[in-house]
């Protein structure tokens, strides 16, 4: 066992007490766990972002908007993905701060083990997902997974909470997308009726309606309104 003198004391103290991350032989046992956590997190990060964050709702709404505008590939998938990712990071920042305080910092200081850090780290995302998961979806996966009815929703396992949250987010995204689609559909109908009534059969209505919809969206500052509405929905 390795000993060191503590300043102001004549007693020999174990190195493990002076440096919490080290064991009795002066070996840092947290380093292998840190490597395992980092590699696992990097591997599962895309799946985690898509299944445990608002990314699903944002992407669904953005794609509905692009279809409603009739621009096909503008904005591109990369642009929509980047915007969705930045908005997701903005929305999830309080959750990430809680994860760092409850799990990352105590683990780095050697106060808790690796498995305890994982259990503590999953608690803030679970509470975030339960806030937006519908009871109907939670009941569906609880019944399908033969999970005992808990005393409170926080006792549900992640294998129930995550798919229920994804279903709820898809439903919310489609609801917002449908409402977003209606004004542009009205423009398409008006343009089609006008071009048909004046006998412009050789010119497709979409050729006229698409720039009109883009102009209407720009004049109304649509991106700002859409982003604000999505942020308020959380």
Q: Quick one: pLDDT at residue 46?
A: 76
Using pLDDT thresholds of 50, 70 and 90, give the confidence band for residue 147: confident
Share of the chain above pLDDT 90, in %: 0
* Cβ proximity of 160 and 138 under 8 Å: yes
Q: By the 8 A CB rule, do 3 and 19 touch? A: no
Q: Is residue 107 predicted with pLDDT exceeding 50?
A: yes
Share of the chain above pLDDT 70, in %: 82
pTM for the full model?
0.71
> Is residue 5 very low, low, confident or very high in pLDDT (cuts 50, 70, 90)?
very low
Rounded alpha-carbon distances, angstroms, from residue 123 to 99, 143, 146, 207: 8, 22, 22, 51
181-234 confidence digits (pLDDT tens): 888 888 878 877 877 777 766 767 677 777 888 888 888 888 888 888 888 887
Helix axes 158-197, 222-232, angle to 10 degrees: 150
User: How confident is the model over 119-131, as a mean pLDDT?
Assistant: 83
């Amino acid at each position: 066992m390795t000993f060191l003198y503590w300043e102001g004391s004549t007693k020999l103290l174990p190195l493990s007490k002076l440096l919490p991350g080290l064991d009795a032989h002066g070996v840092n046992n947290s380093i292998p766990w840190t490597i395992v956590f980092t590699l696992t997190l990097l591997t599962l990060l895309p799946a985690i972002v898509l299944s445990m964050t608002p990314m699903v709702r944002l992407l669904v709404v953005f794609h509905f908007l692009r279809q409603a505008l009739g621009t096909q590939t503008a904005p591109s998938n990369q642009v929509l993905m980047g915007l969705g990712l930045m908005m997701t990071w903005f929305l999830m920042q309080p959750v990430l701060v809680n994860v760092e305080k409850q799990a990352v910092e105590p683990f780095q200081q050697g106060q808790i083990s690796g498995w305890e850090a994982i259990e503590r780290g999953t608690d803030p995302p679970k509470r975030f997902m339960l806030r937006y998961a519908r009871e109907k979806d939670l009941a569906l996966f609880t019944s399908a997974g033969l999970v005992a009815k808990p005393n409170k929703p926080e006792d549900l396992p992640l294998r129930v909470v995550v798919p229920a949250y994804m279903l709820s987010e898809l439903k919310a995204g489609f609801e917002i997308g449908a409402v977003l689609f209606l004004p542009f559909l009205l423009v398409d109908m008006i343009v089609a009726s006008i071009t048909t009534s004046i006998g412009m059969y050789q010119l497709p209505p979409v050729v006229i309606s698409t720039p009109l919809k883009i102009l209407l969206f720009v004049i109304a500052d649509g991106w700002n309104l859409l982003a604000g509405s999505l942020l308020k929905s959380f």
